């Protein structure tokens, strides 16, 4: 069998994939605001750094700012960091919020089925987490309102069949305040 370490494929030819310093495949292509890869020579938006440990309140504030900028893919990465680095008892909260952000990402890309499905899955996730934990407003996040927003948007996406404006349809994680 050929070498499968960084820099070579199983048949021994050069591996053209981008890799990080530890040999893991990483796509270094620039991305647009919805996380879609662009040509290497294109100007993209700055990517969210991975693996950042933030206080929960910082996670909510940073994700909201990204959602307000029309960057739900980037907001999902912030939630994913919290999901991976936070306490076990909060993983369902952050996973549900990440699913909502990815659902908005897919809806903005015009993926009706995937967007609606992830929006609903995220709504269920945050509602189930709230019911289990007894916390309806963790870190100021109004989970009932966010879940209602997600279901409404999922229905709208399915009725309209097209893409939505991610900035215009961003949720207010902490309600109207």
pLDDT (tens digit, 9 = 90+) per residue, 20-71? Answer: 677 655 667 888 778 878 788 888 887 777 888 999 999 999 999 999 999 9
**Mind listing the pLDDT tens digit for each residue in 157-166?**
999 978 999 9
Question: Does pLDDT of 18 surpass 70?
Answer: no
Q: Among 108, 116, 102, 121, which Cα is nearest to 153's?
A: 116
Which helix (H) or strand (E) segment holds residue 79: the answer is helix 72-85
Which of 143, 58, 51 has the alpha carbon at shortest distance from 93? 143
Torsion 9-13-18-23 (CA) sign = positive
* DSSP one-letter code for 91: H
Backbone angle region of 15, left / alpha / beta, with phi > 0 → left and psi within -120 to 50 → alpha: beta
């Amino acid at each position: 069998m050929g070498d499968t370490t960084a820099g070579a494929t199983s048949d021994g030819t050069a591996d053209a994939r981008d890799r990080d310093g530890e040999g893991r495949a990483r796509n270094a292509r620039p991305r647009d605001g919805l996380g879609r890869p662009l040509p290497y020579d294109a100007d993209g938006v700055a990517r969210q750094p991975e693996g950042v440990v933030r206080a929960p309140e910082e996670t909510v504030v940073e994700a909201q700012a990204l959602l307000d900028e029309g960057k739900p893919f980037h907001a999902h990465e912030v939630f994913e960091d919290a999901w991976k680095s936070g306490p076990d008892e909060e993983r369902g909260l952050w996973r549900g919020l990440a699913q909502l952000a990815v659902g908005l990402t897919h809806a903005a890309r015009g993926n009706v089925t995937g967007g609606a499905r992830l929006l609903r899955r995220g709504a269920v996730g945050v509602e189930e987490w709230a019911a289990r934990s007894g916390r309806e407003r963790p870190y100021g996040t109004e989970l009932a309102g966010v879940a209602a927003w997600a279901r409404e948007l999922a229905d709208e996406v399915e009725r309209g069949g097209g893409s939505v404006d991610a900035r215009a349809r961003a949720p207010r994680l902490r309600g109207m305040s």
